[in-house]
């Protein structure tokens, strides 16, 4: 029985593990893309909305301001 040489997998993780500069360059490009996208975000401190107002009037029959005393 002979030992087989280790065969490297060709997936994305093993590629970046072997080529550390490529992983760092990809990370740098993603950070730069995120920073450039910050200027295009539509943000507001206070959102615009309409204030609707409701007035409720209640008439209490047989009630007096002195009823609680």
User: Looking at the predicted structure, is the pLDDT value of residue 4 above 60?
Assistant: yes
User: Looking at the predicted structure, is the pLDDT value of residue 47 above 60?
Assistant: yes
More confident residue, 38 or 5: 38
C-alpha distances in Å from residue 16, one per residue of 7, 13, 21, 25, 26: 16, 5, 8, 10, 10
User: Looking at the predicted structure, is the pLDDT value of residue 44 above 80?
Assistant: no
- CA trace torsion 57, 61, 62, 63 (10° rounding): -10
Which residues 6+ apart lie within 8 Å of 15 measured at CB?
A: 22
Looking at every residue in the chain, the average pLDDT score rounds to: 81
For residue 21, the model assigns a pLDDT of 92
pLDDT, tens digit, for every residue of 15-40? Answer: 888 888 988 999 999 999 999 998 88
């Amino acid at each position: 029985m002979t030992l087989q040489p280790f065969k490297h997998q060709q997936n994305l993780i093993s590629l970046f593990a072997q080529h550390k500069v490529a992983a760092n360059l990809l990370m740098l490009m993603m950070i730069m893309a995120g920073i450039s996208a910050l200027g295009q975000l539509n943000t507001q401190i206070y959102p615009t909305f309409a204030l609707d107002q409701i007035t409720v009037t209640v008439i209490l029959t047989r009630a007096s301001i002195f009823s609680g005393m």
